[in-house]
Amino acid sequence: MRVLVSDNISERGVEILRNASLEVDVKTGMKPDELKACIGQYDGIVIRSATKLTADVIECATNLKVIGRAGSGLDNVDKAAATSKGIVVMNTPGGNTITTAEHTIALIVSLVRKIPQATQSMKGGSWEKKKFMGVELFDKTLGILGLGNIGSQVAKRALGLGMKAICYDPFLNEELASNLGIKKVSLDELFAGADIITVHTPLTSETRNIINKDSIAKMKNGVRIVNCARGGIVDEAALYDAIKSGKVAGAALDVFEKEPLDNSPLMTLDEVICTPHLGASTHEAQENVALAVADQIADYLVNGTIRHAVNFPSIPADQVNTLRPYIELAEKMGCFASYFTEEEVKEIGIELRGEAADVMNEPVKIAAVKGFLSPVLEHTVNFVNASHIAKERGIVVKVTKNADAGDYNTRIDLSIKSAKKDFSISGTLFSKKDPRIIKIENFIIEVIPEGTMLYINNNDRPGVIGSIGGIFGEAGINIARMHFGRESKGGMAVSVVSVDGSIGDDVLDKIRKLPNILEVKKITMNG
C-alpha cells in the first residue's frame, strides 16, 4: 500500500511508515491540480495545514482509505466528502497542546507589555520608555472560549500568573471547570466580564465569526483579544474597526482568515501583534504529531485499528477484543435483516441487552447499519460512511439498552421498520465470541450466520425437509448445516440451510414449487 506525505513532517514519521512496509512518497508544496492528478494512486495521505483536501480533490482519491492530519485542526479537510467516500479522517489531538498553550500565554504577556513594539522601537534606535506603558496580568480576568485540551492548559498557566479565569464551553461539565479553578459562564457573561479573551475552539459554522461587531459591543471597554485557534473565528474587519474606535485595546493573532496573510488592514495597527501561525511550531510538537500520525496511519492500513478518527468512533485498545465479537454479530444481523426488507426503510432499532448494554454502543450501531446496507451498496458502504449513507436515505437509527437479556447473558435485538412491513431478529454470542442468530421474527432458532444460506418459510408438514434435501442432492450441493424453528406443531415453520458453494436460480425455483413452501430467500453473508 502507498502513502503520500504532502506537507513537511519529521523524517522519523516517514521512517515509521516505511518500517511498516508501506511505500511512501514525500511530495510537498503541490498545487491543487498536481494533487488531483496523483492522489488516486495512494491508500493514505499525511498532511498538515498547507494541503487543502477539498471535495474536488477527494473526488479524485479513488483508492484513499485514510487521511492523517499531523495536528488537531481539520478545517483544511472536507470531512463530509471524505466520510461520503468512506475515508477515515484522523488527527493527533494533544500533540501540540502544550506548545499552543505556551504560545497563547506568550502572546498575552507580549500584548499587555507591548514587547514586540518596544523591541522594534529600540532596534530603530529609540528609547521610548513612556510610550510602552503596559498593564499587569495579576488579578485580571481571562475569558477562555472553549475549554478543551489547549484551553484548559492555558487556564492552568493563567491561574499560575495570578489571573482569574472564566470560560464558555457548552459541552463542559460545570463541576470539572470548578475543579480546575475556573468559573463556567454563559457566552454573554464571558464577553462582559473578561479583560482578555482567548479563543480555543475549532472553526465550525457555529464558531465562525463568533467574535464579531455585535459580540465586541458586549465586551468591556479596553478588552484585549487573542486568537491561537483558527482564522475565521474572529471577524477581522470588525476587530479592525473596534481597535480603531478604542473599544478593543489590542489583539494578538497567530491565525488569520486567509493564510499567508496578504495586505490586511490589521497590520497597519500598532495595537496588533502577530505571528505566522506558530502555535504548534516547536521542535517537540512537530516531532510529537509526526510520530503520532504516522503510527496511527500505519496501524490502520496494516492492522485496521482506528485511533483519533473524527468521522468514526475510536475504540480504546483495552476494549478492542471485547467489542470485536459484538461488531461482528451486529454486522451479520444487519446483513441478514436486509434480505427481508423490500420497501422503503424508515427506522433501524438496535437494543443492546444484558452484557451487550455495557459495551460501547456506537461501533455496534455502525456495524449493524453497515451490515444492513451492504447487500444493496456492496461497493460503496463501509464502517466510516454507513451512518452517513443511512442519514442521506432518511433512515433513523435508534439505540436502546436493557439490562435484561432474558435466558441469555448477552443479546442484541434488531428491528427494521419500513413503509409496509416490519422485521425483527435477535442474536447472541456463544462462548463470548461466536455470533448466533437466536430468533427470526417469532421463530426461536439457532443459526450460525456465515456463507451462503437459504431461508425457507413453510407449513410444518411431513416431508418438507426431505424434499428440500433431495433437490440439493440432485444439484450436487452439499448441505453444511440445517437449522429449524416453528411457532407450533403443524403451524408455520422456518428452515435455514447453509451450503458449501453457491445456489443457482434453478434450484431456488424447484424449492419454491414444492408443496407447503411459502417463502424462499437466498442470503449471502458479507464478511
**CB within 8 Å of 230: residues ≥ 6 apart:** 73, 75, 201, 202, 203, 255
- Phi, psi dihedral angles at 176 (to 5 degrees): -65, -45
Q: Listing from the earlier edge strand, what are the strands of the sheet with 443-447? A: 396-402, 345-354, 410-418, 422-430, 434-440, 443-447
Radius of gyration of the chain (CA): 30
Which letter does DSSP use for residue 222 in this model?
T
Instruction: Tell me how far apart the alpha carbons of residues 38 and 61 are, in angstroms, rounded to a whole number.
Output: 8
Q: What's the count of helices (H) and strands (E) in the chain, helices before strands?
A: 17, 22
Q: Which of 23, 34, 136, 259 is catalytic?
A: 259
Q: Is 103 a catalytic residue?
A: no
**CB within 8 Å of 298: residues ≥ 6 apart:** 16, 17, 19, 20, 22
Q: Is 259 a catalytic residue?
A: yes
3-state secondary structure 246-283: CCEEEEEECCCCCCCCCCCHHHHCCCEEECCCCCCCCH
- Phi, psi dihedral angles at 501 (to 5 degrees): 90, -150
Number of residues assigned to the chain = 527
Alpha-carbon dihedral 430, 485, 337, 333, rounded to 10 degrees:
0
**CB within 8 Å of 446: residues ≥ 6 apart:** 436, 437, 438, 483
Q: Is 519 a catalytic residue?
A: no
Contact 331, 367 (CB under 8 A): yes
Q: Listing from the earlier edge strand, what are the strands of the sheet with 492-499? A: 479-486, 492-499, 452-459, 517-524
Whose cell is 479592525? That residue is: 240
Name beta bridge partners: 225. 197, 251
Q: Which of 277, 353, 411, 436 is catalytic?
A: 277
Instruction: Tell me how far apart the alpha carbons of residues 150 and 99 are, in angstroms, rounded to a whole number.
Output: 9
Give the relative orientation of helices 115-123 and 97-113 as an angle to the nearest 10 degrees: 60
Instruction: Tell me how far apart the alpha carbons of residues 361 and 359 are, in angstroms, rounded to a whole number.
Output: 6
Q: Which of 200, 224, 230, 308 is catalytic?
A: 230
C-alpha cell at 331: 454486522
Which letter does DSSP use for residue 71 in this model?
S
Q: What is the DSSP string of 291-347?
A: HHHHHHHHHHHHH----SBSSS----GGGHHHHHHHHHHHHHHHHHHHTT--S-EEE
The residues annotated as belonging to the active site are 230, 259, 277
